[in-house]
Copies of this chain bind each other. A is one copy, B any other.
Amino acid sequence: MRPFAIGVLSERTGVKVPTIRFYESIGLLPAPERTQTNRRTYDEDTVRRLRFIRHARELGFEVDAIRTLLDLAAHPERPCAEADVVARRHLADIDDRIERLTGLRAEVQAMLDQCTGGQVRECRVIEVLANHGECLSEKH
């Protein structure tokens, strides 16, 4: 396969052109070869690398974590414990966020349940916001 342009890379990976340039600028993608007229050219390796990045992003991994994972992927002989750690940390982070959101959900739902639909004067939504004491939990 011939080297191809950034637009082709974009289409083949589903990552937008400006995003590809952005990834290059932060060092997630290496600076590619250029044509004589200064255009970036890519090869299959970059397609694989970028798909890896995209997929990890879709799963919510942060760029720093992806850097570590990419680094690991490049060294097949190393133990995979480190990848495990990264993924476990991410899982814990997701759990954390789910838990907090679930708590919030309950508060907002409770607020809405109490709303009788009258005037703002007696609106529970506004009132709960104004008075923290009425909340389900003291946590926030």
Residues of A within 8 A of B (CB): 48, 51-52, 55-56, 58-60, 69, 72-73, 75-81, 83-84, 86-88, 90-91, 94-95, 97-98, 101-102, 104-105, 107-109, 111-112, 115, 117-123, 125-126, 129-130, 132, 140
A120 and B77 contacting across the interface, CB-CB below 8 Å: yes
**Once the chains bind, are A125 and B94 in contact (CB under 8 Å)?**
no
B112 touches A105 (CB 8 A): no
* Identical chains bound together, number: 2
Question: How distant is the Cα of A118 from the Cα of B80 in the complex, in angstroms?
Answer: 6
Q: Is there contact, CB below 8 Å, between B111 and A87?
A: yes
State A52–B105 Cα separation when bound (angstroms): 18
B91 touches A129 (CB 8 A): no
CB contacts (< 8 Å) of A122 on chain B: these are 80
